[in-house]
Chain A
Amino acid sequence: MITRRQFIQTAAVLAVAGSVENRLLAAVGSEPTYVLPFANGKRSLVNDFPQKKQMILQRVRSPLLETPFEVFDKGVFTPNDQFFVRWHLPDVPTSINATHFRLSLHGHVNKPQSLSLDELMHGFTPVEIAAVNQCSGNSRGFFSPRIAGGQWGNGAMGNARWTGVRLKDVLDRAGIRSGAVQVRFNGLDGGVVPQTPDYMKSLDLDHARDGEVMIAYAMNGEPLPLLNGFPLRLIVPGWYSTYWVKMLSDIEVLAKRDDNFWMTTAYKIPDTPNANMIHDQVGVKMVPINRMVPRSFVTNLRDGDILRKGRNTVVRGIAFGGDVGVAKVMLSTDGKSWRDTQLDDDFGKYSFRRWQTNFTPSQRGPTMLMVKAINTNNVVQPNSANWNTGGYMRNVVETITTTVI
């Protein structure tokens, strides 16, 4: 079982760190690093990306920034300035003119549209939804055997309140022509060599028109940070982040299925339960990644923490159901029996849900805490980890090992 052992480390302060807060503070100003618990997992903690506080640096160009896991213990919503960042292509625009920006809607429609931000914000009914945005490859660093790609810990995810307009309403303004099958989304980012395929993703027409998929202009009540897609981002509740196109500037209604590289070659998963396959398996049917699956994490304790026999300990964390809500979150302290935990406020089925319970250790020694979510479709996190060639969709039951003294 893979365990999570993330801690802030500096040359000077390592063992003396106390609370999570202290560890973060101790690291400030001394070239702090963050150790993700897998081989070659040492990363810099950086503060110099625009509109971002301290983040785990996965790549400078184009930016891959991971949320330090401690952030998830602070609240059910992930702050914009510590929300993870993932760009595919090297040309990320660094300047957006809010007056001149236009969202183009064209293709298999009756009335092509070119909408200013003002028209988008005033011309449609505003909606708000809380939803988890999670990278398809979140937790890839824990795959065994390891896989090339972004070596994320568990922090390539976040939960936000997204404000914007329904994609359905915008599509209806243009009038979909009969025979349309998919809707393709493109952002302002691009490659620097002509052969690099532009980053575009598509949704089936029925999905695009389901009334939940939206075009967001705000995140947690503020404009999106540029690195999270300012000024507009597609929000696809319950689906992996690859579809949440950033700096959304172009929507094309297609009369045939999208055959672009990012739909047909990249982001493919085995069409099997839990997207699981054997390492050298050949001939597996691959399909585009799609709906998320449930996950849960302990956020206030970590590997190596000391608990005291006979003393009550609060254990708390976050969970999400994937493409539906969380039904229950259960904790096991012996790997066999599971107890229900108490779920906190419900911010909607696509949101993180905080949970907590009390645990009074009765035996000294190493003690594993395992947490498992079940969603409202009765999908349960698996006890063993999946594996696939892309390093996608990890959602194994998480375990941390504490010591009771």
Chain B
Amino acid sequence: MNRPHSLCAITICMLIWLGSPASQAEGATKPIRLVNTQVTLPTSTTSFPPGKGSEIANAYCTICHSSDMVTQQPPSLTRKDWQSEVHKMKTNYGAPIPDDQVTLLVTYLTATFSDKK
């Protein structure tokens, strides 16, 4: 499971009264107060399943997103689909995957997550 374990907390640092235009307009709803807001987001505790090439996925894919984005993809995706995804991540989003590791990464993703090897 891709279950985050860290706790989240909402810390209200200080209250700031910012008025109530909504209540003035509606006459009934309660005033809106915008206050300093600080939250903690859960962090991913999962990594890519073992396999030849998983180290590439763990090194580069997770710079920008947790592994669950990959592990939850449809099993019907083909090698061509995975090729296209890796290309998209490199070209459009700047994933720093070295050119000479792309083929191995695509092979890993297809072997691990696709039912059409």
Contact = CB atoms under 8 A, between A and B. Distances in A.
B74 A43 contact: no
A197 B41 contact: no
Interface string B22-50: 10111001101111111111111000000
A334 to B, nearest CB: 32
Contact of A126 (B21, B33, B68, B85): B21
A122 B21 contact: yes
A56 B38 CA distance: 23
Given A61-B44, A128-B25, A221-B30, A193 B77 contact: no
Interface of B is mostly: loop
Contacts of A50: 8-10, 39-41
A382 to B, nearest CB: 23
A230 B68 contact: no
Given A60-B44, A193-B96, A126 B36 contact: no
Interface residues of A, number: 63
Interface string B66-81: 1011001111110001
B41 A43 contact: no
Most chain B Cβ neighbours within 10 Å, of A49, A50, A89: A50
A146 B38 CA distance: 38
Interface in A274-328: none
Nearest to A59: B69
A265 B16 CA distance: 41
B21 A223 contact: no
Interface string A252-278: 000000000100011000000000000
Nearest to B64: A90
Contact of B76 (A39, A44, A94): A39
Nearest to A47: B8
B101 interface: no
A217 interface: yes
Contacts of B34: 98, 117, 121, 217, 223, 230-231
A151 B74 contact: yes
Contact of B93 (A49, A94, A126, A197): A197
A9 B40 CA distance: 28
B32 A151 contact: no
Contact of A192 (B8, B63, B77): B63
Contact of B72 (A40, A217, A266): A40
Nearest to B113: A40
A197 B88 CA distance: 13
A192 B95 CA distance: 10
B103 interface: no
Given A39-B75, A59-B65, A145-B76, A121 B41 contact: no
A58 B26 CA distance: 37
A217 B9 contact: no
A163 B26 CA distance: 10
A163 B64 CA distance: 33
B19 A62 contact: no
Nearest to A41: B72
B19 A121 contact: yes
B94 A193 contact: yes
A148 B81 contact: yes
A64 B41 CA distance: 12
A40 B1 contact: no
A148 B85 contact: yes
Contacts of B26: 128
B32 A94 contact: no
Given A59-B65, A94-B39, A223-B32, A196 B93 contact: yes
Given A63-B41, A226-B39, A98 B18 contact: yes
Given A31-B1, A197-B92, A151 B72 contact: yes
Interface in A201-257: 217-218, 221-223, 226-227, 230-231
Closest 4 CB pairs of A and B: A195-B94, A50-B39, A146-B74, A126-B21
Given A39-B74, A58-B68, A99-B16, 8 more contacts: A50-B40, A94-B40, A121-B32, A126-B24, A151-B73, A191-B94, A221-B22, A226-B37
